[in-house]
Amino acid sequence: MVSRLPGRRVAAARLALSFLALSCRVGMASAATLGIPLGDAPVLERIFAYPNKPDPSLDLAGTIEHYLRQSLARDGFAGASVRVVQDGNGHRAELTADSPDLARYGERLPGFLRNGRMADEAFAGIQDAGQWNPQWRVYLPLGLPLARARSVQLLHFPPDYSLSCQDYLGSRTSRRWEALLLANGAPQDSLARHEAIVDIVPIAAPADSGNRLPVVPFRGYAKAQLQLLTAAADPGGDAHTLPVLAYGQPVRQWVNDMLGQDLQRVLDTRYVELQSGRKTPLLVANHPSYFWRAWEESPDKGRKVMQEDLVAACWQKALGDDPGADIRATLSLCQARWQARPEEVCVLTRVQACGDPWPQAESQCRQSPQSPPACAAKAPVDASPAGSQAAEAASAPQQVEACVPTQMQQCGYVRQQAEALCRQYRQPPACPKACPL
């Protein structure tokens, strides 16, 4: 098969250069401003789920600016700025950054908006058929990396609280998976580059809504979005795209139906074709939240799922670093890595399931790394004045050590985030119900 990719690259480059030629301004060093037409307000309101919450503090332009700033920051554009202005009957984004990679937004952002209009058309069809639930909101993967992603996460649907939080990664499941990437050597400051997300159903809904959400109307949107986000700028040369992790049974079924596969189980891996003439590495993983359900069934099952998840995150990180690496050899290396670390698997299991402080989890796991004990019952909190005075009299290290596991278990923070918060506040900070960040 003759690849058409070079022609596409030339067209994309011309498009990006035309944007720059129209709107490049002389500034400090090589900073340039990229101007991108966004479209009319009524469509943008639906694509950006405006307003994201009751009594919004941001207008439509401010909401779009918020998500574009998140995307630029998660792509690693330090010091980038965003301005959204009215342009005739529509809106226009002006992005400024000191990097030639900014030109990629000239192709990616219009593609993202084009796919968003596909999702909007699917929503209109569901609504016309009288099948729309007023509790649902169309919610595209806003604020995620568009130019420098390292891997793509294919998920079922976003939790509803992430929308009011205005952070697509503002979920307990995202925080849990980030901790697994950290355990596999991913740098803290670039974790989000592994979190370019496509939901097969872009509807923000309560966590128990999965079986009721319409998948078929959004098939065209989801495939187009997956094609857009995996086609990074030469991540694996002409031969490979960015890798994809497919989380959970509904997503595995979607891949089988849409991409002609026969994936049967967690850690199955295949090459699929999303771009003409290029291979997309794909791995099946548990849904990140399945770990907690497995732990409730039994600690041994929770540990087994944790090990599978660590292997999947290892594969994701390795293929993100080198999309041309052999998918099965990489999987074998990742399985061997975590098979040889039973105590670390046990510790991570206890930390994420029970909120144990790391030293306490290590102590528990030295005794039986292959079979972690159930979580200990939490001691009741003394809310009396005497109890409050005693807590305030505790030393700062003791306060932090008591605070960290609570924040990790209740809010889904990784340990570094919990420690930072607990050092900052005298009392353990509350975890807002609507936004666990």
Give the model confidence (pLDDT) of 47-99 as tens digits. 999 998 776 788 999 999 999 999 999 999 999 999 999 988 899 999 999 99
- pLDDT reported for residue 409: 62
- pLDDT reported for residue 49: 93
- pLDDT reported for residue 24: 42
Stronger pLDDT, 185 or 208, i.e. the higher one: 185
pLDDT digits (tens, 9 = 90+) for 243-272: 999 999 999 999 999 999 999 999 999 999
Alpha-carbon gap, residue 151 to 3, rounded angstroms: 22
Confidence band (pLDDT; 50, 70, 90) for 287? very high
Alpha-carbon gap, residue 267 to 328, rounded angstroms: 10
Alpha-carbon gap, residue 220 to 366, rounded angstroms: 50
| Predicted model pTM | 0.82
pLDDT over 60 (residue 378): no
Angle in degrees, CA 25, 70, 315, rounded to 5: 115
Q: 75: closest CA among 192, 170, 235?
A: 192
Confidence band (pLDDT; 50, 70, 90) for 12? very low
- pLDDT reported for residue 394: 35
pLDDT digits (tens, 9 = 90+) for 100-131: 999 999 999 999 999 999 999 999 999 999 99
Confidence band (pLDDT; 50, 70, 90) for 422? low
Alpha-carbon gap, residue 182 to 402, rounded angstroms: 23
